[in-house]
Amino acid sequence: MGLLDELRREIAKAMEEAQRQAEAAKQPVPPPSDLAPRYPAPPVPAPQQQTANTQPIAVATGNLPLPPAKRLAVVTCMDTRVLVEKALNLRTGDAHLLRNAGGLVTDDVLRSLALSHHALGVERVVVIGHTECGLMAFGDEELRARIRQRMGPSVNPPRTFGTFSDLEENVREQMRRVRACPYLPDTLALSGFVYELKTGRLNEVSLVPESRPSELLPSATRGRGVPAPGRIGGRLQRETLQRSTALTPVEPAPATGVLPAPEFDLEDDGSPASAVPGAEKDASLRFSPREVLRAFVLGEVMDEPKGRKARRPHPK
């Protein structure tokens, strides 16, 4: 009996040891002490979270219509700091968001806009650039060199990445590409904005920049002075007309706009005074200010007058 009892005790001890090992195998192995601070064990998610994460999509959008609710398409940069939805107060299903590096209107963006308008009813396009854009910090050649350095000299990177230096002008250029697209109508509403990252404000950009006085001149006379009229009581310098800053309407000019009015020193008889002290005042070599100004506006050549009747400008 003593031998049988001893055998039973050994069997019971072995079974207890096996049970302890089985329970220890079920517990996660703790990480080494030197890695524990840097790589803590992830928390075990709650049962509700585990169920939500196993679904194909956490928020169902199948009940939304296919066309965007606000009939809007937005072209903007892929920068994650540009919060388009909050800036435009958009919700899921309100607009088509087309994002790429720099917010450029590429051929593929035009393809998407054509589909948005003709098939899905989009009636308004908004182009949004933003401050501190990455394409303003690099040049095309710099990016190409960086790619070759990392990938090897045999790699042929894109010739251009669409880098730019003027933020507002880049927004205008993208708007011009939308307007120039042959399969998008002119009736499509178009707007442009610059998004300020630090303030979150949207500043509108006009498609046509503000004109300077020199840009108001007709193309035929922009940057040109009076075609050499000879002597007008002395020598008339072309700079006299070009440096004038006063803006007055000119009549009877065929082109509309405001033109710089030339400055003259008029004598009592209404003719330009001599620009050279002591110059001979010959009445036959004088032109009236109206004739000189007309020649300036119309780009006409004024012949040396040989008489009162011959003192008429004629077109080139």
Residue pair 163/156 in contact by the 8 Å Cβ criterion: no
Residue 96 annotated as lining a ligand binding site:
no
Alpha helices (H) in the chain, listed in sequence order: 2-26, 47-53, 84-87, 107-120, 140-151, 167-180, 239-242, 289-298
Residue pair 281/274 in contact by the 8 Å Cβ criterion: yes
Residue with tokens 């593929």: 108
Residue 133 annotated as lining a ligand binding site:
yes
Strand partners for 73:
96, 125
**Cα–Cα distance measured from residue 132 to residue 136, given in angstroms and rounded to the nearest whole number:** 7
**Cα–Cα distance measured from residue 86 to residue 90, given in angstroms and rounded to the nearest whole number:** 6
SS3 of the chain: helix, strand, coil, percent, to 5: 30, 10, 55
- Of the candidates 226, 230, 234, the one whose C-alpha atom is nearest the C-alpha of residue 276 is 234
CB contact set of 119 (below 8 Å; sequence gap of 6+): none
Residue 77 annotated as lining a ligand binding site:
yes
Residue pair 72/126 in contact by the 8 Å Cβ criterion: yes
Residue 282 annotated as lining a ligand binding site:
no
Pairing between strand 72-77 and 259-260? unpaired
What does the block give as tokens for 198? Answer: 């630090």
- Of the candidates 281, 93, 101, 68, the one whose C-alpha atom is nearest the C-alpha of residue 174 is 101
Residue pair 200/133 in contact by the 8 Å Cβ criterion: no
Residues of each annotated binding site for Zn(2+)? 77, 79, 130, 133
Residues of each annotated binding site? 77, 79, 130, 133
